Amino acid sequence: MSDTTPESPRGVDARLPRAELEANYAAEFRRARDEGWARRLFEKDASLWSADPAVQARIANRLGWLDSPIDFTERIASLEAFGDAIRDAGYTNAVVAGMGGSSLAPQVLAGLFPDITDYLSVGALDSTDPAAVAAVFEALDPEHTLTIIATKSGTTTETLAFRAYAWDWVHRALGPEHRGRHDIIGAYFVSITDPGKAYEAIPGVDDFREAFLNPESIGGRYSALTYVGLVPGSLMGIDLDPLLDGARRMLEDCHLDDASENPGLALGLLLGTLARAGHDKLTFVMDPGIAPLGAWIEQLVAESTGKSGVGIVPIVDEPIGTVGTYGHDRVFVRVRLAGSDAGAATPDGLTPDVFVDALAEAGHPVVLIEVDDPIDVGAEFVRWEVATAFAGIVLGVDPFDEPNVSESKENTKRELARVEHGNASGQAARPLAHGEGLTLYGESAPGAPAAEAPLEDEMRRHLARIRPDGYLALQAFIAPTPERDARLASMRRLLRDRTHRATTAGYGPRFLHSTGQLHKGGAPIGWFLQLTAGHPADVDVPGAPYTFGTLIDAQAAGDVQSLESHGLPVLRIHLGEDADAGLASLERLLDRTLPPEV
């Protein structure tokens, strides 16, 4: 670094390749110091993000996350007592039924602490694909499973569908003498939600074993260190004292106006400065032992910064390539966990650390973050929340709203209403092309004939719509499996290596509650492949006039409509009844139609 770059703060080391980036960072550093950004953040001064009094009032009611590590420390004893009581009652498993901010923190904790014995195994249900719903519950014993209904609003469509299925599942499992006893069925449920209308909106909630009411002033993606993460953490047997102690210590460091001593401020200034300079593809290279944190950061950064035509695009779990495969719109964040396996070598045979050194030498910005122990994830939650809040100031956006998320939700409601009234779904459009088990849908080329085009021609036409500064997003409205994870990763590698663009992948509908805001509200540079499939074994949503298959199809259709309304290039590819065979066919099609690797 040159002399103009501020000294790196505790736990953050940045390598900026060009003098103008260093100068821009130094300028933001001085501005933040002179205007007292850190002090004002903890004073909850909403004028940091907007001069509009109405916006300031709304933001002021979204800053409760700054208090949660301290407030919830006082509740550790009761939380850990709850976890012990559930274990002692004979429960062996818990399912977090929630979406986005209500389920990601529990998944991070479960991934970081898989080896704790004598407590519950905690998983999450955040897919409306009928195969995914069935698979979660078929693997569990209803009489030894606690279902956690997690929803900030109390009205989340997916979560209420999960609640209906789980309630019916327990009801059917109980003996005849207990069926219809809501108090007995409710003992297998707890809720995590906001007080008042949110709590009241959950059917049967008064009969639940426990209701955990979060502060209303904390948004979903900032809620990891509230009941959202801590109730599942207590069931897993995680020691909450060091988790929250690390979070409190990070909060203290983030109070300092001097960015050279403030880990959250320094990181936020870096991310915002680099994004404004065109390095807006925030690419993570993480040790396996800390990698589960990536999905949580992805939602936080994407949903918080992706609006008003700007944003930071998090690139998580993209397979590592050779140095030459990356465009110059990247910034790389290397997250190391002390004592952890560093993961697989790159295609060039480089270790991750040597790889990021080579990236820096090639002119890419690189940020290094050291984590001492998985329990320090509490501190990392705080570091990234603070950093994202400050990055929002640099980018000129409000990091606490999500103005475009409702678009797909409203479209989904219309799709469901259409189906309920016996009309065809909006997905039932004329195909652009089909073959090899695939059917392609999307906007026709201007002046195109009514007949279908060859499969390769339509794919090449869509590939030609990729922007030079764009990113490529795979949106899979299918049930997640390890095999499909691997296939999507292989396609990401193929797309990245042949186009030199950053790639993302997400399962629907979960990504609608995370990166979906960025897709519609951020810079209009995304290129989208939506993947759908048939439902050979559909599953009813108890009490609803539709199935889970109908629901996920309506969500997919609603998202296509939203993307198209923003003029974004989206191609829907129906994989047929066998999603795995369809994914293999799609990868072969991409291999034939992408430009040759250079």
Q: Tell me the per-residue pLDDT of 220-234, one tens digit each, with 9 for 90 and over.
A: 999 999 999 999 999
Q: Are residues 108 and 213 in the same domain?
A: yes
Residue with tokens 């006893």: 181
Cα 330-331-333 angle, rounded to 5 deg: 135
CB 393 within 8 A of CB 50: no
* Residue that terminates a domain, selected from 203, 238, 273: 238
Distances (CA, A) of 559 to 101, 403, 410, 528, 567: 19, 15, 10, 11, 13
Q: Are residues 354 and 494 in the same domain?
A: no
Q: What is the pLDDT of residue 405?
A: 86
DSSP-assigned beta bridge partners for residue 282:
314, 331
Cα 111-113-119 angle, rounded to 5 deg: 115
Sign of CA dihedral 541, 542, 544, 546: positive
pLDDT beyond 90 at 593: yes
Q: Are residues 411 and 521 in the same domain?
A: yes
Q: Are residues 104 and 207 in the same domain?
A: yes
In a domain, 400, yes or no: no
How far apart (Å, rounded) are the C-alpha atoms in residues 262 and 549?
Answer: 48
Q: Are residues 56 and 125 in the same domain?
A: no
* Residue that terminates a domain, selected from 395, 414, 436: 395
Q: Are residues 439 and 576 in the same domain?
A: yes
Give the rounded percent of residues in the chain with a pLDDT score beyond 70: 95
pLDDT digits (tens, 9 = 90+) for 231-282: 999 999 999 999 999 999 999 999 998 888 899 999 999 999 999 999 999 9
Domain hosting residue 540, numbered range = 405-593
Q: Are residues 195 and 143 in the same domain?
A: yes
Q: Are residues 45 and 92 in the same domain?
A: no
Residue 480's contacts (CB-CB under 8 Å, 6 or more residues apart) are: 127, 132, 507
* Residue that terminates a domain, selected from 238, 265, 292: 238
How far apart (Å, rounded) are the C-alpha atoms in residues 16 and 37?
Answer: 23
How far apart (Å, rounded) are the C-alpha atoms in residues 337 and 357?
Answer: 17
CATH of the domain at 508: 3.40.50.10490
Residue 413 CB: number of other CB atoms within 10 A? Answer: 13
Burial of 244 (0-12, 13-18, 19+ CB in 10 A): buried
Per the structure, the count of domains in the chain is: 3
Q: Are residues 106 and 54 in the same domain?
A: no
pLDDT beyond 90 at 407: no
pLDDT digits (tens, 9 = 90+) for 436-467: 999 999 987 666 666 788 999 999 999 999 99
Q: How, if at all, do strands 12-15 and 366-371 pair? A: antiparallel
Question: Strands across the sheet with 210-213, in order?
Answer: 121-125, 93-97, 145-150, 189-193, 210-213
- Mapped onto helix, strand or coil, the DSSP state of residue 345 is coil
What's 187's DSSP letter?
T
Q: Are residues 212 and 274 in the same domain?
A: no
Burial of 471 (0-12, 13-18, 19+ CB in 10 A): buried
